[in-house]
Amino acid sequence: MAQVQEFEKALSNSDASVAAFDEHGTSIVKRIQHFLHSTPAAVPLIVLVLSIAVFGITIGGRFFSSYTLTLILQQIAIVGILGAAQTLVILTAGIDLSIGVIMVISAVIMGNCAVTYGLPTLLAVVIGLGAGAACGLLNGLLVAYMKLPPFIVTLGTWNIVMATNFIYSANETIRDADVDVQAPLLHLFGLNFKVGTAVLTFGVIAMVVLVMILWYVLNHTAWGRHVYAVGDDPEAAKLSGIQTKKVLISVYTLAGLIAAFAAWVSIGRNGSISPSAAVTDYNLQAITA
């Protein structure tokens, strides 16, 4: 007991300051290198900002007008949401080639449920979101439990979902006027409002909010850390106690759900609902976003 008291007395008199490294004299180049190594996401951001600046200066100052910039945001809202879904899958060292057709079939299901079947619009949206999540769940099960390569799995489901989409819809387009009359809520994300001279749509706001939520989840939650761990080394993650299969299933299911949400945004953006609405283009743009 006396020894413990003596140890605590000596410990209370010890220096409690935290070790720090003296950075005086470090060159600016070294500090920039340290910053880029510690935050690798800053590299593509810097390249993007510089590219936009050079492009804008080259073609003139009109590029940086509020009208032009907000118009670009409106045009990339759908692809930005699909890109967010694709990012989750890529973080697990996978890829989802079916993300575009999942969006299209979800839009068709929402439109048919609301316009053709006369269901309440909110219920139609929920059914469409559920369909997208179910497609993502199928991808996740095949990747996690069947141990199939994500490229092969999603290439197969891309063809299956696309064929199902054409058969279910009979390749018929739901007109903009019919959606306006029977299910105007489907056009919610196409509504716009002004902020000064800028014109924004609710679809743009939805894209920004979604990206911010995913950023927070990936960087400040255990699930986000597990996603990074599975993508970096699934065997090491499994030995660390992470349930890799559940993580993969949750990622692919969430990606399908986000793709279905992009379908709702696309209806507001495009007006009409077409079962063949640039399926290939949306897939390619989501992969490269």
Would you list the domain boundaries of the chain?
Answer: 17-64, 65-288
What share of the chain has pLDDT > 90, as a percent?
57
Mean pLDDT, all residues of the chain: 86
pTM: 0.82
Pull the structure tokens for residue 101: 């057709």
State the pLDDT at residue 127.
97
CB 206 within 8 A of CB 78: no
From 34-38, 91-95, 127-131, 270-274, the region with the lowest mean pLDDT = 34-38
Q: What is the pLDDT of residue 196?
A: 75
Distance CA 241, CA 60 (A): 55
pLDDT at 120: 95
Cα separation of the two ends of the chain: 65
To which H or E segment does residue 198 belong?
Answer: strand 198-201
Q: Residue 24: which pLDDT band, with cuts at 50, 70 and 90? A: low
- Convert the pLDDT of each residue in 231-273 to its tens digit: 999 999 999 999 999 999 999 999 999 999 999 999 988 888 8
> Which pLDDT belongs to residue 220?
92
pLDDT at 86 over 60: yes
Instruction: Provide mean pLDDT across the span 1-9.
Output: 58
Where does the pLDDT of residue 91 fall: very low under 50, low under 70, confident under 90, or very high at 90 and above? very high
Cβ neighbours of residue 95 under 8 Å, at least 6 residues apart?
Answer: 86, 89, 150, 151, 154, 287
Closest by alpha carbon to 77, among 270, 280, 272? 270
Q: What pLDDT score does 5 carry? A: 59
Contact 218/228 with Cβ under 8 angstroms?
A: yes
Query: Residue 19: what pLDDT?
Result: 52
One-letter amino acid identity for 202?
A: F
Most confident of 22-26, 56-60, 161-165: 161-165
Cα 117 to Cα 113: distance, rounded to the nearest angstrom: 5
Mean pLDDT of 221-228: 95
Q: Please state which of the ranges 46-55, 159-168, 218-227 shows the lowest mean pLDDT.
A: 46-55
Confidence bin at 2 (pLDDT 50/70/90): low
Structure tokens at 246: 């559940």
pLDDT, mean of residues 193-197: 79
| Of residues 179, 177, 206, the one with CA closest to residue 265 | 206
**In angstroms, rounded to a whole number, what is the distance separating the alpha carbons of residues 140 and 148?**
10
**Confidence at residue 20, expressed as pLDDT on a 0 to 100 scale:** 52
185 CB-contact burial (10 Å; exposed 0-12 / middle 13-18 / buried 19+): middle
